[in-house]
Amino acid sequence: MLSLRNNETVSIVIRRHWWILVGPTIVFMALLIIPAAVTAVGTTYAPRLLDFFAEPIGEFTTVLYLLVLLIFAFLLWADYYLDVWIVTNQRIIDIEQKSLFHRVISEIPMRRIQNVTVEINGIIETLLKFGDLRVQTASEGSFIIENAPRPHEAKDVILHYLREDAENLKNPDGAGL
C-alpha cells in the first residue's frame, strides 16, 4: 500500500468529478427496468411470454441478467473510486485503476514539475466547475487527471508547493543551486 515519506503530508486527494457517472447511471437504470418492462408488455401482448418467466429457467435468466448488470455497475464504480491523485507537500501520486486487478501507480516529485495547466471545455464543465488538470515534467512527459473537480484549486495547491520547494532549494545567499 501507499506509505508517506518523512515530513510528508497529504494536501488534497483528487478523484474524477461525479458528472462522469451520470451517463452510465442512466444507461444502468434503463437496463435495470428492462425485465419489468418485458413483464408489463408481456401481460398485454404476449401472455405466453409470462409462462417463460414463471418457469425456473426464466427466473434464472432474469437473475443472471440482473447479476451481470450489477457486476458491470460495480466495475464502473470501482474504476471511478480507485482512480485517484494524491497531492502531498513533496510529490504527486497518480493511482490509475486499469481493470479490476491491474493498477498503475506513478509519482512526480515536486521539483521535477515544470508546468501545471487547467483545461475546461464546455458549458457543463464550466457550470459544474470541473476539467482536466495536466502536470508537465521534463523527463516523464505529462500526467493528466481528466474531469477533476475544482481543477483551479488543485493547480493553486500544486503551485504553492512548487514555490515552497523552490524556496527550500535556495542557498543561504539567495542564489539557486
CA distance 66 to 28: 10
Which candidate, 9, 22, 10, places its Cα nearest to that of 130? 22
Identify the pLDDT of residue 177.
46
Question: What pLDDT, on the 0 to 100 scale, is given for residue 100?
Answer: 84
Query: What is the predicted pLDDT for the residue at 45?
Result: 77
pLDDT of residue 53: 66
CA angle, corner 103, sides to 102 and 108, nearest 5? 155
Mean pLDDT in order along the chain per 10 residues (177 residues): 83 94 94 84 73 77 92 93 92 90 90 92 95 88 90 94 79 49
Task: Pull the grid cell for residue 165.
Answer: 520547494
Give the 3-state secondary structure of residue 31: helix
Structure confidence at residue 1 (pLDDT): 62
